[in-house]
Structure formats: C-alpha cells, structure tokens
Copies of this chain bind each other. A is one copy, B any other.
Amino acid sequence: MKFMIPEFLVFGCVLLSLIDNVYSGITSSFIRSEFPAVDMPLDHEVFAIPSGYNAPQQVHITQGDYDGKAVIIMWVTPSEPGSNHVKYGTSKKKYDFTAHGSTVKNYTFYNYKSGFLHSCLVKDLEYNTKYYYQIGEGNSARSFWFKTPPKIDPNAYYKFGIIGDLGQTFNSLSTLEHYIESGAETVLFVGDLSYSDEHEFDEMGERWDSYARFVERNAAYQPWLWIVGNHEVEYLPEINEVEPFREYLNRYTTPYTASGSSSPLWYAVRRASAHIIFLSSYSPYVKYTPQYEWLLAEFKKVDRKKTPWLFVLMHSPLYNSNSAHYMEAESMRVVFESWFVQYKVDLVFAGHVHAYERSHRISNIRYNISNGLSSPIPDESAPMYITIGDGGNLEGLASSYNDPQPDYSAFREASYGHSTLEIMNKTHAFYHWNRNDDGKKVKTDSVVLHNQYWKLMDTE
C-alpha cells in the first residue's frame, strides 16, 4: 500500500503545479565508463611536493569572518615550523601587508607524525578585490591569489560550486578539473575529504597530506567552506584513537566564532547575497545541545532582505532514495526539518551517498506518533534537498536506487560530478548538476530557482 491517505495525492497535485521545475521523478539511465575507484598513487604528479627546503604545501583557504572580508590561510611545512606569516596585497609584484599566523602545531596519529600546521587569519580586506599572497621563505616561498566576494547585498551576483565526498582517485581529479572550469568562486564542500581512513592505519596521515596537496590547485585560490563527514570521525578504538575529528580539526578550521558558534564543526557565513549554514551530522544536535541552540539563534539572525538566499549544508542527506545510507539521517530530520520549512530555506546540500539526487520541495513534519501522518508531502515552503556525494572517492558509486522512485525524488543518477549555483539577483538563481564526462555546456540536471523568501512574499 503506497499511500496511506489518498487526500495527499489530490492536495499534492494542486500544490505541484505551483512548484518550480516539477519533474515526475527521473531516474537517469545514463551509465558511463568510469576510472577504477582506487586512489591515485602517491607518486602521481597531483601529489607532487613543491621544491625548495621546507616549502609550504597543502595550501587551502576558507572564509575568515561572517561577511567575507577575511580569509583564513592554512598550510603545512614539512621540515621545521618556518615562518607563520602571510604577505599579501593587491599587486602581484609587491605585498603591502603582512599577517601573523597563530601558533604552529603538529600532531601524531598512530605512527604518523604530521608536518607543521599553519593557520593565518587575513582580515580587513576590501570587497570584490583580487589579493595576491605569499607564504614561505627565500627560494621556497610560494605565491597564490584569491578574490574577495562582493559586499553583502540582496542583489549581489555570485557563483558557488558544490562538491562532496571527493577523495583522491582519478575520478576525484576529473571532478576537480571539471569544477575548476565552471568559473565558480567558492566551494561549498559537504564533507568526506581525504578518505584517508580507508587506508591502513600507518598510511592515514600521509593520505591527509596527499589529499591537501591534490586540492591545493583550487583550494589555495578560492575559499572552500567545509563540514565534516563520517570519514572525518576516525573513531578507531583498536589503535586507541577515539577522539572524533582529531586529524580534521588539526588541519581544517572554520570561522565559527564569527557566527557565535562554540565549535568549528558548525557555523555560518554570509557571502554576497547568501546566508549559508554549515552543520555537523556527527555532533550532538538535539534540544539543549550547543549545535541546536546555536542553530536556533542563527536562523533568527537571518535577514532575507540583506541575504535573500538561505542554504544549509550537512553530510548525511535528510532525503535520499538510494539504497546506500537510506534513512540514515532520520535522526537529524526529525530535529531540524521543521525549522528548514519555517525559515524557508532555499536549498539543503548533503553528501554521503555516492550519487546525485535532487528532491522536489517536500516536507514531512506533521507526524505526532499516533496520527500516521508520516509521509512527505509537497510543500512550497520547504527546501529542495540536493545529494551531491559524487565527488569520486575510492569507495565508488552507489548505483542501487529504491524502486519505484519515491514521489519526493525529482532526479537521480549515479555518476560522478559537481554542482554550481549561480545567484543572479534576489529573486532568481540557476542551479546545475554537472556530470564529469559531459562537455562543459551540458548540464545534466538544471533548475531555475525562485528565491523562497521573495517568491512566498509575493504570493502571500
């Protein structure tokens, strides 16, 4: 018996006609040849160690404040701490400023000893400006650049990319190369970075290093905004490593204090015309816990007149019809979904499932234990849920879908790829999922988004 309450269908059909880009539910039959799901060998050129004694490597940057006038620059020096300064300026030839990094640290994990981990906040930048920066010393110095976003403005144009579950295989490389061609300026990364924990204990640390060298080609030039996935947990009692996220937290920081968060694992930023909320699927999130209390306060801070676009990232998807990880995030859904509807979130991005899926605007928040009302229904106030865990890691694709495709699922395909989200102004944005081996101009799944706040304001 598929539907318990036939009235849903009637009601649903009426609502569906009001909703953007209605699909009847497409399960793509596309199957392409893929690279074997194995990590690139450590002697592959993408992992090359930069020349020069103690040269900075694994350079990656993230937003450093709430509104986009700062970046945090992170890197590793292999042999000794070296300088923790960043020289920067708006000219390629001359660095007018110097920022001083925080204390250099390192850590051990099993029999691995990390290099020296640097983190430096560069703040008080101008909006919409290209900055050049240099780290390291003498012949080993290395130079990069980044561009700050436009100032917070409801009609600011901005193009985000979304990547998840990336890893360091040839498929990961393909995804990253396709992403770089997209022209997007900031990566929203939905967790599971290096997949180092799929290697032997004594190779894990090294695979964190190689991953960071691999993504440097992009992550040194534009901010990546991270959340944790299950592969960051690294709970390994068999080797007495039981403190979750230890390697990740040593290597990846976030501007969490800027949004009043008490943990790097959940935070928010505003960037151009977007307010973006980053959650941890693997930290406490029920009432009374820090993440819950923080998120409630953060939602109340969102001002759609200033940042009309509201996005949420988490690792484990609330809606997913793949056999892999099916219903795994119910525990978070029952806590947060009603807020996503109440606050008219535009899009929720997740990873975890190694395939692509997009939902219709649906919600499932009427259940009261006894009433049986526990099936998703069309809901104009609800977000679209995007699962984009198809970065290309060594675990391969999740190619088995629940059959038949449930009504909440709009489009699904088990291929590698990335998404882009091009915000045109306060009312419209273009969202695309890009399968890796299509040409640049073929967007496999495309949606014209009408901003949830302004759209629903208009119809009220």
Q: Report which A residues bind B (CB closer than 8 A).
A: 1-5, 230, 233, 235, 237, 242-244, 260, 262, 281-290, 293-294, 316, 327-332, 334-335, 364, 367-372, 374-376, 406-408
Contacts and interface: CB of A to CB of B under 8 A. Distances in A.
Contact of A244 (B1, B3, B5, B290): B290
B374 A3 contact: no
A111 to B, nearest CB: 20
A229 to B, nearest CB: 9
A247 B215 CA distance: 42
A235 B1 contact: no
Contact of A290 (B242, B288, B327): B242
A331 B335 contact: yes
Q: How many copies does the complex hold?
A: 2
Nearest to A374: B374
A407 B5 CA distance: 21
A316 B369 contact: no
B327 A369 contact: yes
Contact of A283 (B284, B328, B370): B284
Given A262-B242, A367-B374, A233 B288 contact: yes
Nearest to A315: B288
Contact of A288 (B235, B289, B370): B235
24 contacts: A2-B371, A3-B372, A4-B5, A4-B371, A5-B372, A233-B288, A235-B262, A235-B288, A235-B290, A237-B294, A242-B290, A243-B262, A282-B284, A283-B284, A284-B284, A285-B331, A286-B316, A286-B329, A327-B369, A330-B334, A364-B369, A369-B408, A372-B374, A374-B374
B369 A289 contact: no
A335 B407 CA distance: 24
A230 to B, nearest CB: 4
A21 to B, nearest CB: 22
A233 B294 CA distance: 14
A290 to B, nearest CB: 5
A1 B371 contact: yes
